[in-house]
Amino acid sequence: MIKLITIILFISVSLLGCHESVTVIDSPPPPDNELHIDGNITFQGEISWSARENSIEARIWADNVGTNMARIETGTCAFNIIAYNADGEPVWYNRMPENYICFDELIVYRIAPGQWLPLTDQSYLNGTKWANPIPAGNWTFKARAFTAEGYTVAIELN
């Protein structure tokens, strides 16, 4: 009986030792640019990613669900892409290498009522050159931005 318990403990410890752990990170800093939204806008998005290739390709679009023309003013770096573990803790974000450039450029998106528009002028939503590699795992991705009024915009990307 003692041999059986010893064997079970040995196998359990061996299996636990093989588990790869991923470090939970602090909440990412806000993006360089805020969103200035005038109108009734909702956001949607999707992502494809590969830890092996260290790549992400995120697409974000805005829907005007109001009855008037909507307008979004922002810069080129308005969104963070964040990977979360099953407990909702951040494990990675699209932090650029130290010498990255976020151009100081005003982007204005105008969206007619009932229409949608892809936010194609955003930088660092796609790429393979990140400050930290994307860890392998089963993550939930969100895009996060902040409005000039202090609200958080969180967009599910999966």
38-93 residue pLDDT tens = 999 999 999 999 999 999 999 999 999 999 999 999 999 999 999 999 999 999 99
Dihedral pair phi/psi, residue 18, rounded to 5°: -85, -10
For 139, the token pair is 């993550």
pLDDT at 116 over 50: yes
pTM for the whole thing? 0.83
Quick check: 72 and 62 in contact, CB under 8 A? Answer: yes
The DSSP code sequence of 49-114 is EETTTTEEEEEEEEEE-SSS-EEEEE-S---EEEEE-TTS-EEEE-PPPTT-------EEEEE-TT
Residue 19 has what pLDDT? 42
Quick check: 100 and 35 in contact, CB under 8 A? Answer: no
Domains annotated on the chain, with CATH: 25-156 (2.60.40)
pLDDT at 20 over 70: no
119-143 residue pLDDT tens = 999 999 999 989 999 999 999 999 9
Residue 103's pLDDT band (cuts 50, 70, 90): confident
Give ∠ CA 155-65-73 in degrees, rounded to 5: 65
DSSP 45: E
Q: How many Cβ atoms from other residues are within 10 Å of residue 96's Cβ?
A: 16
Residue 44 has what pLDDT? 97
Mean pLDDT for the stretch of residues 24-32:
92
Residue 158 has what pLDDT? 79
Mean pLDDT for the stretch of residues 19-23:
67
Residue 3 has what pLDDT? 54
Q: How many CA atoms lie within 13 A of 103 on its CB side?
A: 8
In whole angstroms, give the CA distance from residue 56 to residue 49: 4
pLDDT at 98 over 90: no
Residue 36's pLDDT band (cuts 50, 70, 90): very high
In whole angstroms, give the CA distance from residue 30 to residue 34: 9
